[in-house]
Amino acid sequence: MDVNQPKQEHLLALKVMRLTKPTLFTNIPVTCEDGDLPGDLLNHLMKDDPSTVKGAEMLMLGEMLTLPQNFGNIFLGETFSSYISVHNDSPHLVKDILVKADLQTSSQRLNLSASSAAVAELKPDSCIDDVIHHEVKEIGTHILVCAVSYTSQTGEKMYFRKFFKFQVLKPLDVKTKFYNAESDLSSVTDEVFLEAQIQNITTSPMFMEKVSLEPSLMYNVSELNTINKDGESFSTFGTTYLQPLDTRQYLYCLKPKPEFAEKAGVIKGVTVIGKLDIVWKTNLGERGRLQTSQLQRMAPGYGDVRLSLEIIPDTVNLEEPFEITCKITNCSERTMDLILEMCNTNAIHWCGVSGRQLGKLHPSSSLHLTLTLLSSIQGLQSVSGLRLTDTFLKRTYEYDDIAQVCVVSSKVKAGS
């Protein structure tokens, strides 16, 4: 693994070892039936094998632990730990020993040494030990650069360094999708749903300790990944383990905070939603953590004027008046002078004066209207026929199919 070796003979020896958790020893059971040539010889050998579980020799999993045989894989979000030892192999006293450890990534060089002070002297057969830790935050090639400088007994300044190269892999594949809570102009809220698809792309299972969404200052978040039953909360996934190449879909609902709710209808362009925080454990409890960058969403376009319904009943009686409450928001950058017209359809009939003046509506401001209407046909009927006209530009905005109501016979109580 060393890239280059020092050409001159040095008094000190440098050893670097990665610190990882051991793995459980696995044993392949070899057995046969009593009628076969070996008889019960193989069974006795397995019972005498110290690596097998007594009374369960046929299990592949043993009671022993195995130390790492190679450098292994390092994944993004995990903590890289390494043991560094400088040993004096010579019979001479060495002075002013300075050990420095840097980690070179594709974008930066980090100093991982615990101390920058030099050791005054190092006697023969003595050593200087250090353990470094670093949370890996970049994928790709990493180079651990260990440099040692010292002064020999003759006063000569000596220096050498070694390079240890390793790759950092991506453990998870994270994909996100945004869904607007509204499919038309009749939405009561400005909720946004976030779907996060997380796939385990390593070769070992993961224990998903936490998958949460940290919202931006504009939003409150509700997690939709648990089920409450008898006062207890259960995960919708059942198990907390994510097998290799398995994918899970986490769902979150974001709602603008009250101080931003009034501006939600006029937010344009890209808005910051928040970031995902993912914590997992592998093997014998090795923890990893990833945080995504700030997730951004393109706000839906509402045009110059947005009309939404605040209150509307689900079920109404045939030929009986009912009320709805509308909210009109000026999404443009100019003041509007609006006129409301109500046009009847085959099933929906508006009650009141059509063509009334609503007055001036300033940019980013809104007003609420309570309107009365009735239906002359049973069944699921669409509320249509509202027209808003801006007298300044002589422009008319049409609003059809803004909501649906269920119309039942007056002999059946609405809502029963």
CATH of the domain at 109: 2.60.40.10
Structural domain tally of the chain? 3
Q: In 19-91, which ranges are E strands?
A: 23-26, 61-66, 74-75, 79-88
- Residue 80 falls within a domain, yes or no? yes
CA angle 17, 76, 70 (to 5 degrees): 30
The contacts of residue 232 (CB under 8 Å, 6+ apart) are none
- Residue 59 falls within a domain, yes or no? no
The contacts of residue 2 (CB under 8 Å, 6+ apart) are 162, 163, 164
My answer on whether 232 and 338 are in the same domain is: no
pLDDT at 364: 80
Q: Supply 5's token pair.
A: 């070796």
**pTM of the shown model:** 0.67
**Under 8 Å between Cβ of 361 and 336:** yes
My answer on whether 126 and 243 are in the same domain is: no
My answer on whether 288 and 319 are in the same domain is: no
pLDDT at 299: 67
- Residue 37 falls within a domain, yes or no? no
Provide Rg for the chain, Cα atoms.
35
My answer on whether 263 and 121 are in the same domain is: no
Q: From residue 341, how far is each of 8, 118, 168, 348 by CA, in Å?
A: 94, 85, 64, 14
Q: Supply 224's token pair.
A: 């939709």
pLDDT at 183: 46
SS3 405: strand
pLDDT at 237: 86
My answer on whether 249 and 310 are in the same domain is: no
- Side-chain-side CA neighbours of 377 within 13 Å: the count stands at 12
- Residue 61 falls within a domain, yes or no? no
What is the 3-class SS of 202-254, one letter each residue? CCCCEEEEEEEEEECCCEEEEECCEEEECCEEEECCCCCEECCCCEEEEEEEE
β-pair partners for 80: 134
Q: Which residues of 387-403 are buried (b: 16+ CB within 10 A; e: fewer)?
A: bbbbeeeeeebebeebb
For the chain, residues with pLDDT lower than 70 are 1-8, 34-35, 37-39, 57, 60, 181-189, 261-270, 299-302, 412-416
Dihedral sign from CA coordinates of 397, 398, 402, 407: positive
- Residue 189: domain span: 172-299
My answer on whether 271 and 313 are in the same domain is: no
pLDDT at 134: 93
My answer on whether 108 and 136 are in the same domain is: yes
Q: Supply 414's token pair.
A: 């609405």
Q: Which residues of 344-361 are buried (b: 16+ CB within 10 A; e: fewer)?
A: ebebbbbeeeeeeeeeeb
pLDDT at 267: 59
